[in-house]
């Protein structure tokens, strides 16, 4: 294990640790990792077709979006150690998502049972919703970044492995909080191909209402009752997100760590939570004042998504492994770049991806008026070219909740015609290539570094070789209204130190 060194964004005092939950059996003697020794952890194909992806020594099994779909019942008995049947480090390497999912199933089972002890309705209708949402989908990308950073820094057995799985599960619970609250703020009705949590809660209230629907058997629901159900669903979602965050914080606080490691880990955790809230606020502010600034869009996206999704999980893995400052900084720089690429890809997917893959209808960001970088680039290019038609389409379509499919098609056409779509796609490739160069500069275990490289490409939606040639992405993309030099510094857009 490498020595621990101070880092300016990882400062913090350790919190009390209360107990240890054993997640792994006693580790067998360490083995040398070779590319062909381990079955790869599934990585969802960016195209969404879940093909088996080739790798040295074998193929990757199809990724299951919901490895632990469904939540435990409030009265389900706790079965003991969630990872008692694991085979140690190699078993986690084989399936990081499954290992974290098993821990989440055990944890949420305990929490739902505790809530049911307070009141059956709290267990089933509130805690149960949190559990079902957390277990029912998602790619588990944050725990996987954390795990492979830990492995890359030379750790992955015993207490460090247990801590990594616990922190990975905590990240998934924070993700539950973020998505549930985000859907409320955006008025989104669908998440992961199913009704959003607040929509589902409202529907259940209407279904459970003892008053016969409508008048004279018409089956219609009054506007007053619909509004009451809507307010109820919104309130339930707020409480559910709060509960998920509380569970996450409890999980981190109860993870026993050496004092120096605990200080670094909890410092990262505190910073990450504040960054997420700050990014969400900046996005809301941008929606409210119809901002079209590329710089503001990048700052909000970096704080809300890029840091939390990639950089901070990598930093947590490095901290658990006791990585030195140079390695930690290289990982964080890689994470910042790839995290921004991940968010820009998400902006593109909102308009151009298959809804069956994303689990959401097309155009949600446009209808909600989100100040995305893609919209900002389109506006800047149209303005620079004096394209009044494109500007009119943006002005009349962005932020319209009732936007028709035909008008959404007009927005897509403008984004293609102005070159904004191509420019943002090139920026994704450029940022990914830059992130991979930072990754290559870190002194990491080769096999784990390869797994990180594969995962980074997957979340950015890039293909091997794209944007990785000499000078890639540095001269072919027109400036987005802020000057070429600034346009190439997207990864620094949130101004957070300690990369």
| Per-residue tokens: 397 | 């379509």
Query: Locate tokens 């080739």: which residue?
Result: 54
Q: Which residues contact 40 (CB under 8 A, 6 or more apart)?
A: 53, 55, 58, 60, 94, 451, 454
pLDDT at position 291: 81
Query: Locate tokens 């008025």: which residue?
Result: 187
HSE toward the beta carbon, residue 366, CA cutoff 13 A: 30
Q: Is there a contact between 186 and 364 (Cβ–Cβ < 8 Å)?
A: yes
* Confidence tier at 465 by pLDDT (50, 70, 90): low
pLDDT digits (tens, 9 = 90+) for 109-131: 999 999 999 999 999 999 999 99
Of the chain, the percentage scoring pLDDT greater than 70 comes to 73
The segment with the largest mean pLDDT, out of 19-23, 29-33, 468-472, is 468-472
Give yes or no for residue 37 having a pLDDT over 50. no
Count of beta carbons in the 10 Å neighbourhood of residue 496: 19
CA distance 92 to 28: 13
For the stretch 74-77, contacts whose Cβ atoms lie closer than 8 Å and that sit 24 or more positions apart, written own/partner, are: 74/112, 74/113, 74/115, 74/116, 74/120, 74/123, 74/124, 74/127, 74/128, 75/113, 75/116, 76/109, 76/112, 76/113
Q: How far is CA 307 from CA 175, 210, 298, in A?
A: 13, 47, 12
pLDDT digits (tens, 9 = 90+) for 339-391: 999 999 999 999 998 888 877 789 989 998 999 999 999 999 999 999 999 99
Q: Which residues contact 456 (CB under 8 A, 6 or more apart)?
A: 310, 334, 338, 432, 435, 436, 439
Q: Which helix (H) or strand (E) holds 229?
A: helix 223-253
Give yes or no for residue 233 having a pLDDT over 70. yes
Give yes or no for residue 246 having a pLDDT over 60. yes
CA distance 491 to 340: 6
285: left (phi over 0), alpha (psi -120 to 50) or beta: alpha
- DSSP states of 239-281 as a string? HHHHHHHHHHHHHHHTS---HHHHHHHHHHHHHHHHHHHHHHH
Average pLDDT over residues 29-42: 33
């Amino acid at each position: 294990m490498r020595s621990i060194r101070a880092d300016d964004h990882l400062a913090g005092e350790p919190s009390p640790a209360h107990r240890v939950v054993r997640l792994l059996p006693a580790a067998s003697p360490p083995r040398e990792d070779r590319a062909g020794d381990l079955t790869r952890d599934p990585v969802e194909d960016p195209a969404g077709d879940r093909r088996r992806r080739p790798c040295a020594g074998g193929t990757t099994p199809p990724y299951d979006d919901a490895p632990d779909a469904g939540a435990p019942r409030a009265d389900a008995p706790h079965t003991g150690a969630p990872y008692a049947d694991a085979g140690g480090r190699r078993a986690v390497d084989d399936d990081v998502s499954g290992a974290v999912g098993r821990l989440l199933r055990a944890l949420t089972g305990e929490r739902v049972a505790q809530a049911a002890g307070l009141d059956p309705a709290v267990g089933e209708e509130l805690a149960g919703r949190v559990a079902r949402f957390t277990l029912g989908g998602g790619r588990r990308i944050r725990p996987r970044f954390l795990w492979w950073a830990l492995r890359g820094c030379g750790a992955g057995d015993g207490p460090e492995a247990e801590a990594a799985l616990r922190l990975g599960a905590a990240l998934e619970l924070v993700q539950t909080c973020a998505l549930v609250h985000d859907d409320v703020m955006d008025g989104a009705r669908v998440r992961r191909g199913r009704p959003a949590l607040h929509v589902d809660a409202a529907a259940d209230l209407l279904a459970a209402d003892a008053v016969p629907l409508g008048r004279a058997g018409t089956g219609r629901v009054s506007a007053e009752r619909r509004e009451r159900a809507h307010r109820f669903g919104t309130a339930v979602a707020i409480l559910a997100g709060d509960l998920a965050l509380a569970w996450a914080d409890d999980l981190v606080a109860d993870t026993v760590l050496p004092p120096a490691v605990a200080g670094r880990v909890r410092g990262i955790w505190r910073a990450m939570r504040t960054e997420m809230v700050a990014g969400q606020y900046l996005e809301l502010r941008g929606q409210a004042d119809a901002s079209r600034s590329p710089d503001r869009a990048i700052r909000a996206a970096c704080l809300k998504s890029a840091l939390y999704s990639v950089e901070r999980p990598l930093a947590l893995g490095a901290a658990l492994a006791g990585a030195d400052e140079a390695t930690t900084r290289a990982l964080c720089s890689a994470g910042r770049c790839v995290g921004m690429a991940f968010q820009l890809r998400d902006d593109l997917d909102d308009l151009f991806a298959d809804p069956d893959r994303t689990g959401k209808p097309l155009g949600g960001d446009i209808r909600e008026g989100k100040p995305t970088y893609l919209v900002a680039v389109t506006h800047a290019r149209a303005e620079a070219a004096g394209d009044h038609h494109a500007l009119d389409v943006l002005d009349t379509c962005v932020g319209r909740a009732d936007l028709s499919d035909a008008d959404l098609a007009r927005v897509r056409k403008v984004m293609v015609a102005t070159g904004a779509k191509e420019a943002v796609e090139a920026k994704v490739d450029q940022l990914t290539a830059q992130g991979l160069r930072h990754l290559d500069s870190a002194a990491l275990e080769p096999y784990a570094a390869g797994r990180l490289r594969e995962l980074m490409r997957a979340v950015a939606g890039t293909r091997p070789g794209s944007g990785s040639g000499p000078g890639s992405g540095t001269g072919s993309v027109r400036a987005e209204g802020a000057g070429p030099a600034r346009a190439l510094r997207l990864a620094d857009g949130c101004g957070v130190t300690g990369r």
